[in-house]
Each structure stands twice: as structure tokens, then as C-alpha cells.
């Protein structure tokens, strides 16, 4: 007889596990429709797209950099690079993202990766009482407060736009 977890993708199980280990609530919701963009997620959840936390992977000197940005924001890579004191950051390829997160673009979560990734947190997200973030695949999201998201990711708060 199959277990309930047999139908949940490994990437989502990793996020559920990471939430629990970090002392956060497992609020993962799996939807029948795909929610690979902030607009799609906001529509399904009935929330402001600005409360959707996009998990964006960039490449910085060959290493991954995770920027948790509001779904209503476009990351200013020049501003972020200047703030970090580096010449340039660039958007990672889908292959680079999968290699470093174990998750596909459009489903990347802030947590649940094979190794810890340096993380920046868009300070504009603190305007929202509740945030929603990808949970490892195109059909899953989890809710969390800004304070808990900052705590479980050990993210550096930063203005990204």
C-alpha cells in the first residue's frame, strides 16, 4: 500500500523537513494547478503578488546567491552587487539552479537545498503580515512570517530594488 508521502515530490519533502527542523510550522500546500510565477501564485492564493516571495538564484563568483524578493519587485542586480562590494552578479542558468538547489526554476524554495546557500532577503517583504514562498516544485507553496523566514534562512536583509 502506498504511503501518503509517495505522491509528494522529494524536493517538496525536503522543504517540509527543513521547515520542521528549523522549528517553523509545516504550512506547505500542494495545488492541483501549477504556480510557477508570483502572478499565478497570487491568483490561486487570493493574495497580493507583493506578498509572494520569489526565490531567485544568481551566480556570484561561481557560487550560488539566493535572493528572496517580493513578487512585485524586479531585483536591481547592479544595486545588489554594489551593496555586496562585488563587480557583478548574474542570473543563473536553469542547470545551475537545479544543481545547487535540487529544485527547478519556478519552484525554488528558500530552504530545502542540498547545501546552505548565501541568502539575501528583500526588506520590502516585511510590509506583509504573511508571506508565501515556493515549496520545491511548481505546485507547492508555504506560508511564513517575515521574521521566521529571516530566521530559518539566516538571510541578510537588503534593499534589492
Q: Which residue ranges form the domains of the chain, and what is each CATH number?
A: 4-158 (3.90.960.10)
Distances (CA, A) of 4 to 7, 9, 20, 116: 6, 11, 18, 28
**Residue 161: which pLDDT band, with cuts at 50, 70 and 90?**
confident
147 C-beta neighbours (distance < 10 Å), count: 9
pLDDT of 5 higher than 60: no
Listed residue (56, 53, 52, 54) closest to 64, CA to CA: 56
The model's pTM: 0.93
Contacts of 2 (CB under 8 A, 6+ apart): none
Q: Who contacts 37 (Cβ-Cβ below 8 Å, separation ≥6)?
A: 71, 106
| Residue 7 confidence (pLDDT) | 87
Amino acid at each position: 500500500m502506498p504511503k501518503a508521502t509517495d505522491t509528494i515530490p522529494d524536493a517538496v519533502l525536503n522543504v517540509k523537513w527543513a521547515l520542521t527542523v528549523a522549528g517553523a510550522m509545516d504550512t506547505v500546500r500542494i495545488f492541483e494547478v501549477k504556480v510557477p510565477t508570483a502572478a499565478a501564485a497570487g491568483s490561486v492564493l487570493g493574495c497580493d503578488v507583493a506578498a509572494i516571495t520569489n526565490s531567485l538564484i544568481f551566480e556570484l563568483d561561481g557560487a550560488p546567491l539566493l535572493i528572496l524578493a517580493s513578487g512585485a519587485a524586479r531585483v536591481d542586480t547592479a544595486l545588489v552587487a554594489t551593496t555586496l562590494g562585488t563587480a557583478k552578479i548574474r542570473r543563473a542558468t536553469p542547470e545551475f539552479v537545479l544543481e545547487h538547489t535540487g529544485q527547478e526554476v519556478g519552484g525554488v524554495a528558500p530552504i530545502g537545498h542540498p547545501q546552505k546557500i548565501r541568502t539575501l532577503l528583500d526588506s520590502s517583504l516585511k510590509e506583509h503580515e504573511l508571506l508565501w514562498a515556493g515549496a520545491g516544485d511548481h505546485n507547492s507553496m508555504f506560508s511564513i512570517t517575515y521574521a521566521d523566514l529571516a530566521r530559518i534562512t539566516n538571510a541578510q536583509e537588503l534593499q534589492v530594488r
